[in-house]
Amino acid sequence: MTHGVIVNLTTGLPFIFQYNPEEVKTQKPLTWYMAPNIGGSSQESYFAGFQNREISLTLKFIYKKDRFGIREEIEYFKSLGEPAPGILEIASSIFGNENYPPPKVLYQFGVSLIPLVYEVAESPQITIGQFKSDGIEGIIGIPTVAEVGLKLRLDESHILNKAEKIAKQVAVLTGSADSIIKEAAHLATGKRKEASLV
């Protein structure tokens, strides 16, 4: 079975999922502005626009006889919620506390026809458990299972998103044409059956 993948665009490092997500939730949030109405019984609401599409998913990891358990997997996803200055920026900010955003990622599984660029909308929610309990490993607390919850926000201005929109329109046209062809074939089959009964 083919596994999905996510790519950290700052480092260029991909991560192939151990288990594909069982579900991917997606929504395009709406923004409403509520006008102040001091002392009133209701407020007037004004539509302020659409937000970028968001997706959320949960990834699962299970210990596979590695001496560090699944700590490396956890560290990869922790890095998606931390500042991502890149190597050159790190060198130039050794004595400062620069405000760098988390990395953007490339992701596709379950949500698009082509890989798209996403911002990390929230720091990944990582739940770890079932720690190794023998010898020195029990003292260190090496996890053997984990769940990572990701919330990503689509970079809708990116060129890949424009290409995805074109691909979706082609899919819509193809789906429409395919339905017409199937219906025509169905009607033709029905008429042949009627003719054979006469």
pLDDT digits (tens, 9 = 90+) for 123-168: 999 999 888 877 777 777 888 899 999 999 999 999 999 898 888 8
According to the 3-state scheme, what is the secondary structure of 139-179?
A: HHCCEEEEEEEEEEEECCCCHHHHHHHHHHHHHHHHHHHHH
Taking the C-alpha atoms of residue 179 and residue 173, their distance in angstroms, rounded to an integer, is 10
Taking the C-alpha atoms of residue 149 and residue 25, their distance in angstroms, rounded to an integer, is 11
Residue 197: what pLDDT? Answer: 58
Q: Name the residue with higher pLDDT: 55 or 186.
A: 55
Domain 5-157 has CATH 1.10.238: no
The answer to whether the Cα torsion of 99, 105, 111, 113 is positive or negative is positive
Q: How much is the pTM?
A: 0.76
In sequence order, the β-bridge partners of residue 117 are 106
End-to-end CA gap in the chain: 51
pLDDT > 90? residue 23: yes
Residue 56: what pLDDT? Answer: 97
Taking the C-alpha atoms of residue 191 and residue 180, their distance in angstroms, rounded to an integer, is 17
**193 band by pLDDT with thresholds 50, 70 and 90:** low
pLDDT > 80? residue 181: yes
| 138 residue type, one letter | G
For the chain, which residues make up each domain, given as ranges? 5-157, 159-198
pLDDT > 60? residue 33: yes
Give Cα 115 to chain centroid, integer Å.
10
In sequence order, the β-bridge partners of residue 105 are 8, 118
pLDDT in tens, 98-124: 678 899 999 999 988 889 999 999 999
CA atoms within 13 A on the CB side of 99: 0
What's the longest Cα–Cα distance across the chain?
92
The H-or-E segment that residue 126 falls in is: strand 125-131
**28 band by pLDDT with thresholds 50, 70 and 90:** very high
pLDDT in tens, 52-102: 999 999 999 998 776 778 888 899 999 999 887 765 555 555 555 567 889
Residue 129: what pLDDT? Answer: 87
Mean pLDDT value across residues 11-34 = 93
Residue 160: what pLDDT? Answer: 93
Residue 89: what pLDDT? Answer: 58
Among 9-13, 67-71, 186-190, 191-195, the range scoring the smallest mean pLDDT is 191-195
The token pair that represents 49 in the structure block:
């626009």
